[in-house]
Amino acid sequence: MNIDFSTANRIIFGAGRLSYLREIIGHYGKKVLIIKGKEFPDPGTLFTICEDANVVWNYFNVENEPNVKTVNRAVELGREKECDFVIGFGGGSVIDTGKAVAALLNNQGSLLYYLEVIGKGKPLRNPSKPYIAIPTTAGTGSEVTRNAVISVPDKKVKVSMRNAYLLPEVAIVDPELTYGVPKTITAMTGMDAFTQVIEPYVSRYSNPMVDLFCKDAIPKGASYLLRAWEDGNDHEARENISWVSLMGGLALANAKLGAVHGFAGPIGGMFHVPHGAICAALLPSVMLINMKALSHRGKNFNKLTRFEDIARWVTGVENATIEEGVEWIASLCKNLEIPRLSELGIKKAHFPIIIDKSKKSSSMKGNPIQLTEREMEKILELSY
């Protein structure tokens, strides 16, 4: 067994644990840059905590999934205000912006110098400014991963800045912060979280440590996502989906993902569509085509038994087939009113370019088997 596991320096989890910030905020300096969503969530408590601790705050609003310009503007503000540390308070878009900003505040050079695939992909020389990540959606697990996903509009792609220095100093995961998340966002972010515990479990890079997180979280995702969607005030359901999201972050950062995310990066770069919606639309067909590819030409038959595990966990039926598991997930997507790719503005004419870009994406490398172009096309057709 050979494992290399890394995560945030400290993880604080539990309903109401945002209050823990009071105890630690003074350790990181006198001036903070708060990266937050434009409208949601309400940052009032955060501002009060800063004021009580005599920490001077400035904030930067993130309006959409971050792009190079967003990050550069936030870095400029952080430099101008001479911030000692950074807090990210929002969904994955905010958390990723904060990670990139905290890194660039302590490193020379432009963001493009560090971005993979389309940039130079250079490693960071210096550790980031201390970064406290406080997610307010239950989806990305970005508070414990070492990458920040940034879109590059002129190249129409979303790519990562990736480095161990991007791991936050502290991750505070407080399910209470997700109580007000509307239904559609609950569905899409929740399906992202669910996908992020499924893909690492069948990934080429799966390992016994990550398996523990996935084994725990896949059944919880299956039991609680619809409940959280039906009743946003179901605290038990919200807590469990925040947990699944956190497990997804731990898993993806240490075992990679697969074709769902391999497609999601390029599609998200080409179309202004929420990341979770893309993942949800693709998950059942990616599972089905992976299963068929592994059955026909996979040497890696142990991966098929992992698909059987997933089928058993999601359906609750001891001898469920992989097809039944896939059907169960497809019907969950239907119940959550997840749109199909065709409803997200994607046309069949876009398939060749999506396939071409996806082949180069880093998540595709974690897929349990290398897919042929025809198989990739079939996935898109089935999700259409």
Q: Which stretch, 9-17, 141-149, 220-228, 233-241, contacts ligand NAD (CB under 6 A)? A: 141-149
Q: Tell me how far, at minimum, the Cβ of 301 lies from ligand NAD, in Å.
A: 29
User: Which residue from 78, 88, 91, 368 is in contact with ligand NAD, where contact means CB under 6 A?
Assistant: 91
Q: Which is nearer to ligand NAD, 274 or 325 (CB)?
A: 274
Q: Which is nearer to ligand NAD, 37 or 284 (CB)?
A: 37
Given a contact cutoff of 8 angstroms between Cβ atoms, the answer to whether 86 and 32 are in contact is yes
Given a contact cutoff of 8 angstroms between Cβ atoms, the answer to whether 214 and 253 are in contact is no
Q: x/- binding map, residues 158-187, to ligand NAD, per CB under 6 A?
A: x------------------xx-xx---x--
Pairing verdict, β 31-37 and 10-13:
unpaired
For residue 266, state whether it binds ligand NAD (rule: CB under 6 A): no
In three-state secondary structure terms, 148 is strand
Q: Which is nearer to ligand NAD, 252 or 294 (CB)?
A: 252
Q: Tell me how far, at minimum, the Cβ of 145 lies from ligand NAD, in Å.
A: 3
Dihedral angle computed from the Cα positions of residues 193, 157, 100 and 225, in that order, rounded to the nearest 10 degrees: -10
Within positions 38 to 67, which residues make up the interface with ligand NAD, using CB under 6 A? 39-41, 65
Phi and psi (nearest 5°) for 256?
65, 180
Q: Which is nearer to ligand NAD, 158 or 312 (CB)?
A: 158
Q: x/- binding map, residues 94-123, to ligand NAD, per CB under 6 A?
A: x-x---------------------------
Q: DSSP state, 67? A: B
Q: Which is nearer to ligand NAD, 116 or 377 (CB)?
A: 116
Residues 6+ apart with CB under 8 A from 331: none
Given a contact cutoff of 8 angstroms between Cβ atoms, the answer to whether 36 and 43 are in contact is yes
Distances (CA, A) of 297 to 74, 200, 267, 292, 300: 48, 21, 28, 9, 9
User: What letter represents residue 215's amino acid?
Assistant: K
Query: Which residue's Cβ lies closest to ligand NAD?
Result: 91
CB neighbour class for 125 (10 Å; exposed up to 12, middle 13-18, buried from 19): exposed
Q: Which is nearer to ligand NAD, 40 or 59 (CB)?
A: 40
Dihedral angle computed from the Cα positions of residues 10, 15, 19 and 25, in that order, rounded to the nearest 10 degrees: 20
Q: Which is nearer to ligand NAD, 32 or 94 (CB)?
A: 94
Q: Which is nearer to ligand NAD, 74 or 177 (CB)?
A: 177
For residue 275, state whether it binds ligand NAD (rule: CB under 6 A): yes
User: Which residue from 148, 171, 202, 241 is in contact with ligand NAD, where contact means CB under 6 A?
Assistant: 148
Query: How many CB atoms within 10 Å of residue 188?
Result: 24
Q: Tell me how far, at minimum, the Cβ of 178 lies from ligand NAD, in Å.
A: 6
Residues 6+ apart with CB under 8 A from 113: 119, 120, 122
Q: Which is nearer to ligand NAD, 46 or 293 (CB)?
A: 46
For residue 276, state whether it binds ligand NAD (rule: CB under 6 A): yes
Q: Which of 324, 203, 234 is nearest to 316 (CA)?
A: 324
Given a contact cutoff of 8 angstroms between Cβ atoms, the answer to whether 161 and 147 are in contact is yes
Q: DSSP state, 271? A: S
Q: Tell me how far, at minimum, the Cβ of 284 lies from ligand NAD, in Å.
A: 19
Binding-site ranges for ligand NAD (CB under 6 A): 37, 39-41, 65, 90-94, 96, 136-137, 139-140, 142, 145, 147-149, 158, 177-178, 180-181, 185, 189, 192, 268, 275-276
